[in-house]
Chain A
Amino acid sequence: MGHSFTIANAAKDSRAYDRQFIRFICMLMHTKLVWGLLVMTTATVESIEREEQLVAFHLSDEVYGIDIAAIHEIIRLQEVTQVPRTSDDIEGIINLRGKIVPILNLRRRLGLPCNERTPKSRVIVVDVDQVTVGLEVDSVIGVLRLSENCIEQPNEMMGAIDADCVRGVGKTDENLVILLNLQYVLRLTQE
């Protein structure tokens, strides 16, 4: 089983996987365990999946997820300085250790009903295309691992929020996680 584990790790790229797999088979040919192990490895191959790491958070009663790679940090809500003449979903700006970071109210941007701020409210600071933005969310759940085959493409049924903002829907044991397409949410793509 030790062998097959190595493969599973090294084989994220399918081509690299093929090469390794063939080398592995060749190696096995010289052992007497060929048949037994071969059956085991093929079984492992089927369960090799890409896995996504997400940070999941609550907005209203729904669970949303953002790719963990985009996340800079998660901070508590601090004093926000409003900026006039901006759209409604811009809360304002904060001073993040000497850097000015705009805060986007994610509920309002996604067209969800507004909530009062609670002690659980957080700001997720993300870096997307070199733009740093703070996203105000109701509460942060934590890091979530989702294997790729648990993720479905978005469908018409999403209803309330703009379908383009959604990259897919992930299924976990307890919840459905709406995966956000940050580029689109931040409207950076339109510039």
Chain B
Amino acid sequence: MNEDMNQFIGIFLQEASEQMELLEQDILKLEHEASKELLQEIFRAAHTLKGSSRAMGLTAMGELTHAMEDIFDALRNDQISVNVTLVDALFNGLDALKVMLQQIADSGTTSLDTTEQTAKLRAALGGASAPVMAPSMTSPLISENPPSPPTCTSEASRAIHLVPSPAGLKAIQQAAGSTLRLYAAHMEIAADCVMKSVRATMLLQSLASAGTVVALNPDEDALDKEEFELSFDLAIISEYDNDKILAALNSISEVSCSLFEEWPIEDYAKESEEQFHVAITETEKMTCQEAIAAGYRILGLRLAVVQDSVMKSVRAIMTLQTLETRGSVIAIYPGEEALENEDFDRQFEVVFATQLDDDELRSVVNGINEVQLLVLEPWSDVAYGRSATPNKPVVHNSTSEAPAGAIPTVTGAQTTSAAVENVSANAQPSQDKKPAIQPQTVRVDVARLDMLLNLIGELVIDRTRIAQLCNRVAVELNGSGVSEQLNETAAHVGRITDQLQDEVMKARMLPIDNVFNRFPRMIRDLAQKLGKEINFVIEGRETELDRSVIEVVGDPLIHMLRNSVDHGLELPEDREKVGKSRTGTVWLRARHQENHIVIEVQDDGKGLDPEMLRANAVKKGHLTKDAAARLTDKEAINLIFGSGFSTAKEVSDVSGRGVGMDIVRSNLQKLGATIDIESKVGVGSTFIIKLPLTLAIVRGLLVMVGDLVYALPLSSVVETLRVDRREIKYVQRRPTIMLRDKTLSLARMKDLFPVSHFSNNTNMTEAVVSTSVTQDEPLYVVVVASSNRQVGIVVDSLVGEQEVVIKTLGKLIGDIRGLSGATIMGDGHMALIADVDGILQLASEERGAAYAA
């Protein structure tokens, strides 16, 4: 892969994975409802994927997607219907594509053999299409536009579709003005002909004496390889008159001319110099009118890729994509397919709807490497209203074979076709309706967004600091106008910073659907494997959360969903026995709740049985019988978070290796998330995950311990207490207090985080003073909780609440148990951010540590 290619590989990978996601979702939907719109959408996705993979030179991928596309095409034309084998084959192919994409991402190339998948797909397509076309992937013109029933309507097969080759074009131009004439013919070969390619070649040879063949469809190569059905089109320049040329065309046995036209040569020659080749269809015309009504201008552009460009097709497609961001591409010449396959001379043309003025557009196009803008004319004046006439030697994309929807722009397929749908859906299109122009978006590198958030973090720190300085200034200047103004300004800066933070956070937000959309497929596969009937319900797909959270929340959810399906839901027969419907339901919900995202995984299965869990824990030696008996039901349920604890009686390959929930919880806790279980035997279980909105900034309760300030994530803080020292009792040498009739064990922050080593700081004396406080002084206790365990942490004093930006302690210091990082506070001092889960662990290890009161 050369340098130039690498430039595009990133874009390609991103887009390909988007298309694949779309495909996966749509294929899933396909099983339930095979609507025309859905099929159209699927077809487009497959088509785009095929095109871009070919443009990148990934033939294997192109082949596979092509096979898939054929199926969608056949489905679209009602030649075959959806069944399980077909969907399986499609998923099979899709999986292979994913593997390939991964390989490409890793190594830049893929070596996966896809013959099996392709064969499966072809087999699924089966006898549906009468003569199975030669699976030639290198000459898409044939398979794209086969004159066989699957894709061609009868009118389409009558029209002569021809793109003159570059050399042919030149010949036509030279011939203009002379006595030479231009003919087009649709040739048919007898159905029982044994050697089609020989017949075709013989014809071409015999025509060589009559004139020059300027266009051929399919091309000569394809004819040689017999990669065509029973017909082909050609255009020829000759001095012969009609009869003579017809005779020449019919001179070879078993080959006959079924359609014959003379094309006005001057018209063509002139047009190829001055006029646009690109033409628009009726539907596209309507899109244009809509766009004009909305204040868009329709322009005709002729563009050229520079002579020595290595990858003309990529440049052309890049150009189209760039244009799509500034408006809407309505039609392309020569079709998208030709562009992708580099089947064009340097020039291509585009009909384009935009709000930009000419200069802006020029600068946009000039901004694209290796592409020049040759002609820019208002389309409506020059050629608007002109539509392709049958005898015009013009190929207007492949619209004739796909009447609606599949307008083959590369990225604009959705948008333009959406416009078409709009038109057909609303008989009276309202005047003020905007045409379906893509929303103006910019792709931004994630790293840049992260950087932005970091900078905002700094700002947040400074904002707090400025506020503090303002207070000091106010005291020192005592009521002078300056301090008031300073206060105002600071408050304003503060507000702006807040807004900025909100906006950047929003920019980093993605709908959780990005994670959720891979689950339906997983559930479907699981259900099939396990023989269960499952109704999978997703709610709150649109809930947005920070990118950093999205990236990490997927794996825990997979585990949990698998658990629900595997362990939670019963087999259909068992469900019937207990009076439930055969089909079990799994819900996956997401919603905002205060400053959190709540994700719930619920099933209506058998629920977690505390008795069984207790017995299991005893059997596995995690707990003594007595200890198990003492557990509340809730505590017993939480046992499933222990490591090496699987409730499944048998280990399956779906879940149940006894590590699942343990890992789930620890991963979630790393994110500052909490997980809760509600379960009722026989009714079902709900797993509730509470996630922070972002991982970079947390709200913390600042507490003072010795001369150190700690920030405890507010999400884990239950309450704060002032405790009289005399209330402290000892249970197994652990300091404990009674809080609302429940015991709460205490741990001193100083014991959990000893700053023991000798320090040059002079704070040692202070620390000594603070430990020798009198009995009368109350203790400040912060109650923190994580997954149903809680502990009261004794601190010296409470400082306040603040948003803190988490920074790592660096590699030198590494991970410290109980700390998740540090932050810089408004006054420039640093606070250590506590990790509540770690604290709970440390506290339980501190068992028996002497508590000096």
Contacts and interface: CB of A to CB of B under 8 A. Distances in A.
Interface of A: 79-86, 88, 90-91, 93-95, 98-102, 104, 114, 116-117, 131-133, 186, 188, 191
Closest 10 CB pairs of A and B: A84-B753, A88-B757, A81-B830, A131-B811, A82-B755, A102-B812, A85-B816, A84-B755, A100-B807, A102-B810
B809 A95 contact: no
Given A81-B708, A82-B761, A114-B758, A102 B753 contact: no
B817 A85 contact: yes
Nearest to A129: B811
B131 interface: no
14 contacts: A81-B829, A82-B708, A83-B755, A84-B832, A93-B809, A93-B830, A98-B461, A100-B808, A100-B809, A100-B810, A117-B760, A131-B811, A132-B810, A188-B811
Contacts of B822: 81, 83, 93, 100
B763 to A, nearest CB: 8
Given A93-B813, A117-B760, A188-B812, 7 more contacts: A79-B829, A81-B832, A82-B755, A82-B759, A83-B813, A84-B819, A100-B807
A6 B755 CA distance: 58
A116 B762 CA distance: 11
Given A82-B759, A82-B761, A85-B754, A95 B816 contact: no
B818 interface: yes
A93 B808 CA distance: 11
Nearest to A186: B812
Interface residues of B, number: 30
A153 B91 CA distance: 64
A93 B761 CA distance: 13
Contact of B816 (A84, A98, A101, A132): A84
B812 A83 contact: no
Contact of A83 (B458, B461, B817, B832): B832
Contacts of B761: 80, 82
Interface string B785-820: 000000000000000000000011111110011110
A82 B755 CA distance: 7
Contacts of A82: 707-708, 755, 759, 761
A46 to B, nearest CB: 44
A114 B758 CA distance: 10
Nearest to A114: B758
A94 B832 CA distance: 12
B822 to A, nearest CB: 5
Given A98-B461, A98-B824, A116-B760, A85 B753 contact: yes
Nearest to A187: B812
A98 B809 contact: no
B264 interface: no
A90 B813 contact: yes
B809 A102 contact: yes
B828 interface: yes
A86 B813 contact: yes
A86 B756 CA distance: 9
A98 B753 CA distance: 24
A131 B830 contact: no
A140 B753 CA distance: 34
Contacts of A80: 761
Contacts of B760: 91, 116-117
A100 B830 contact: yes
A32 B759 CA distance: 73
Contacts of B708: 81-82, 84
B829 A131 contact: no
A79 B817 CA distance: 24
Contacts of B832: 81, 83-84
Contact of B828 (A84, A95, A102): A95
Contacts of A191: 811
Contacts of B707: 82
Interface string B813-852: 1001111001010001110100000000000000000000
A85 B832 CA distance: 12
- Between A83, A114, A131, A188, the greatest number of chain B beta carbons within 10 A of the residue's beta carbon is seen for A83
Contact of B810 (A79, A85, A91, A133): A133
Contacts of A94: 830
A84 to B, nearest CB: 4
Contacts of A88: 757-758
Interface in B391-423: none
Contacts of A188: 811-812
Contacts of B811: 131, 188, 191
A101 B810 contact: yes
- Between B458, B753, B757, the greatest number of chain A beta carbons within 10 A of the residue's beta carbon is seen for B757
A84 B807 CA distance: 16
- Between B760, B829, B832, the greatest number of chain A beta carbons within 10 A of the residue's beta carbon is seen for B760
- Between B753, B819, B822, the greatest number of chain A beta carbons within 10 A of the residue's beta carbon is seen for B822
A191 B810 CA distance: 13
Contacts of A86: 813, 816
Contacts of B813: 83, 86, 90, 93, 102
Contacts of B810: 93, 100-102, 131-133
A133 B828 CA distance: 19
Nearest to B457: A98
Nearest to B807: A100
A111 to B, nearest CB: 15
A128 B461 CA distance: 27
B155 to A, nearest CB: 66
A186 B822 CA distance: 21
B458 A85 contact: no
Interface in B666-714: 707-708
A179 to B, nearest CB: 21
Interface in B154-168: none
A95 B458 contact: no
A188 B812 CA distance: 7
Nearest to B749: A84
Contacts of A83: 755, 809, 813, 816, 819, 822, 832
B468 to A, nearest CB: 15
Nearest to B816: A85
Interface string B744-771: 0000000001111111110000000000
B162 to A, nearest CB: 61
A56 B769 CA distance: 41
Contacts of A100: 807-810, 822, 824, 830
Contacts of A116: 760
A86 B811 CA distance: 12
Interface in B3-58: none
Contact of B829 (A90, A95, A98, A99): A95
A91 B822 CA distance: 15
- Between A82, A93, A102, A131, the greatest number of chain B beta carbons within 10 A of the residue's beta carbon is seen for A82
A46 B813 CA distance: 47
Contacts of B809: 83, 93, 100, 102
Contacts of A114: 758
Contacts of B812: 90, 102, 104, 131, 133, 186, 188
Contacts of B817: 85
Nearest to B454: A98
A132 B818 CA distance: 23
B572 to A, nearest CB: 52
Contacts of B828: 95
Nearest to B821: A100
B838 to A, nearest CB: 10
Contacts of A133: 810, 812
Contact of A95 (B758, B808, B830): B830
A85 B760 CA distance: 17
Contacts of B755: 82-84
Nearest to B825: A95
Interface string B426-452: 000000000000000000000000000
B818 A85 contact: yes
Contacts of B819: 83-85
